[in-house]
Chains A and B, each alone.
Chain A
Amino acid sequence: MTEVLVYVDHADGVVRKPTLELLTLARRIGEPVAVALGDGAGDTASTLAEHGAVRVLTHVAPEYGQYLVVPKVDALQAAYEQVSPAAVLVPSTAEGKEIAARLALRIGSGIITDAVDLEAGEAGPVATQSVLAASYTTTSRVSKGTPVITVKPNSAAVEAVRAAGAVEALNVTFSDQATGTKITSRTPRESTGRPELTEAAIVVSGGRGVNGAENFAIIEALADSFGAAVGASRAAVDAGWYPHTHQVGQTGKTVSPRLYVAVGISGAIQHRAGMQTSKTIVAVNKDAEAPIFDLVDYGVVGDLFDVVPQLTEDVIARKG
């Protein structure tokens, strides 16, 4: 059977969920061979094996933490040359897309970014994309070279399937470009303890209507009553009320949770681009004409400062 290369996104050996989704999708095309780089790469092997990786190629070097993107491209290219895969799958993170794109050019292949589904096809894997602010669904194929495809989080339900997951050291020679862009300092983000925005089953987002950083406590309290992630509109982010890493929309995160709760958000096209594929959408907004109401399964026209605390209280009561 043909092999499919899967680039592993991990933090010090802890594999992020989108990579497990990639392993599930990769099995539709062939046998997944995982590539894990940097500190903790070897620690990823047991998780990857539990999710179907037949082999795990690892390489650890300080360059991965010291220089931007290119060392990882060099390593993925080395793995590509060693494996001759039927396709290369990479998680659609900012970094993942850039790694995939440079690799694609080097190996003479086309690239598809931000796929939301993947199927085996007669002429190679067929990727589904959600494009033009999620108003169209397209299917595409890479028609030249080995398909390189980046896949968005939440694109498949993770299936655990045991495979050998034999760890093999990857041989990597860094290119002249590898040391081109130096990372001179790095400030890790503190964890909020809440679920990751792009991976959460429920997302509660606040917008300009929340009217102040301190009022985001109302949004957080509702999120916590569900065990949900917190999102924000760009207006709330630009006002400095919530960090940019929580922005939902075209220039923020795309989320596709089972439930999206929009609070004090009007529903501009750029915001909708990031949330309109959510399964169930509800909104609280005091303006009955707000475009967000065109999308909702249930909407409450009212003041969020009355509606949301009552909702939170009732959710907690129902759970209790």
Chain B
Amino acid sequence: MSLRIVVCAKYVPDAIGDPHFTENLTVDRDDVDGLLSELDEYAVEQALRIKEAADAEITVVTVGPKDAEEALRKALSMGADQAIHIEDDDLHGTDVMGTSLVLAKAVQRAGYDLVVCGMASTDGTMGVLPAILAERLGVPQVTLLSEVSVEGGAVKGRRDGDAASEQLQASLPAVVSVTDQSGEARYPSFKGIMAAKKKPVTSWDLSDLGIDAEEVGLEGAWTTVESAAERPARTVGTIVKDEGGGGRQLAAFLAKRKFV
């Protein structure tokens, strides 16, 4: 039987679009364009590479509003086989505990041998969802990998930490997350984009997953945002053109600020 790979992919506001908070202190997902989190492209890429080395089927899953389907289409055009979109009005404002609950139920329902996540989303940037997902599923976590491979029912990878670089190994099923050091993500080909239009996208809501509305959303969140304030713009500093003494001028500035 072929390896069942599920890739978790988040639809996020484009960072260069300058996202804002709304009145209910959630990120305004309407005022800037969204996209597949760039760090999840690496997850799709590694899933595709695993598939190229073995018989596998790739399902990409997202939890998000209607527009999040764009993220799924991107992953499908890169080469994923099918997609699942979990969409429900009651999901608005869900925190990481709620999101991980929804994803855990979804991957269980989809069926999986390997779940591949990005290292962090580019909006929340918590970087903890894969670990929580592994805990919920009761399977090994093999996270923050800069290199990953699957062989003979086991997943292997390299985790580059601050203190050491480690080689890891776990048996399947498992949850892995990959970093942006794992290898450039491919661009969708024209053929891939055309093929993606025909690939199946399944929609599930909370009732399909047996989750009560109270368990998710702002109401069900286990954390509460109390305030959000835009960081004041920095005051414009001094800018000089180097006419031969730029280094000395900078040194003088730093001396005045007592760094020297």
Contact = CB atoms under 8 A, between A and B. Distances in A.
Interface in B220-260: 221-231, 234, 236-242, 244-255, 257, 259-260
Contact of B169 (A139, A184, A298): A184
Contact of B259 (A177, A187, A202, A293): A202
A142 B237 contact: no
Contacts of A270: 15
A94 to B, nearest CB: 6
Nearest to B155: A181
Binding site secondary structure of chain B? mixed
Given A102-B135, A111-B223, A296 B237 contact: yes
A139 B226 contact: yes
Contacts of B234: 276, 281, 294-297
A276 B231 CA distance: 10
Contact of B231 (A134, A250, A313, A314): A134
Contact of B221 (A110, A306, A318): A110
B87 to A, nearest CB: 23
A186 B165 CA distance: 6
B53 interface: no
B223 A300 contact: no
A74 B134 CA distance: 15
Interface in A76-118: 93-95, 97-98, 100-102, 104-106, 109-114
B54 interface: no
B181 interface: yes
B31 interface: no
B3 interface: no
A212 interface: no
A317 B234 CA distance: 31
B230 A297 contact: no
B180 to A, nearest CB: 5
A221 B84 CA distance: 53
A73 B134 CA distance: 13
A302 B242 contact: yes
Contacts of A69: 131, 141, 143
B222 A311 contact: no
A102 to B, nearest CB: 5
Interface in A151-184: 177, 180-184
Contacts of B19: 132, 135
A143 B247 contact: no
Interface string A243-268: 01100001100000011000000000
Contacts of B174: 180-181
Interface residues of A, number: 90
Contacts of B127: 94, 97, 113
A237 to B, nearest CB: 9
Contacts of A136: 21, 228-231
A160 to B, nearest CB: 24
B160 to A, nearest CB: 7
Contacts of B135: 73, 101-102, 105-106, 177
Contact of A318 (B231, B240, B251): B251
Contact of A143 (B18, B224, B250): B224
Given A135-B230, A136-B231, A142 B138 contact: no
A87 B228 CA distance: 23
B222 A318 contact: no
B128 A68 contact: no
Nearest to A258: B259
A299 B240 contact: yes
B227 A185 contact: no
Contacts of B141: 68-70, 98, 180-181
A149 B167 CA distance: 28
Given A93-B162, A301-B239, A310 B126 contact: no
Nearest to A70: B141
Interface string B17-59: 0110100010100000000000100000000000000000000
Contacts of B239: 288, 293, 296, 298-301
Contact of B237 (A110, A244, A299): A299
15 contacts: A73-B135, A105-B100, A111-B223, A143-B222, A145-B222, A180-B140, A180-B141, A187-B165, A187-B166, A270-B15, A296-B239, A300-B246, A302-B246, A314-B247, A318-B251
Closest 10 CB pairs of A and B: A302-B242, A310-B247, A110-B222, A180-B140, A314-B251, A101-B128, A311-B247, A144-B222, A98-B131, A297-B237
Given A101-B128, A109-B222, 14 more contacts: A68-B140, A95-B161, A101-B126, A101-B131, A135-B18, A139-B226, A142-B224, A187-B166, A245-B162, A259-B257, A288-B241, A295-B234, A309-B247, A318-B255
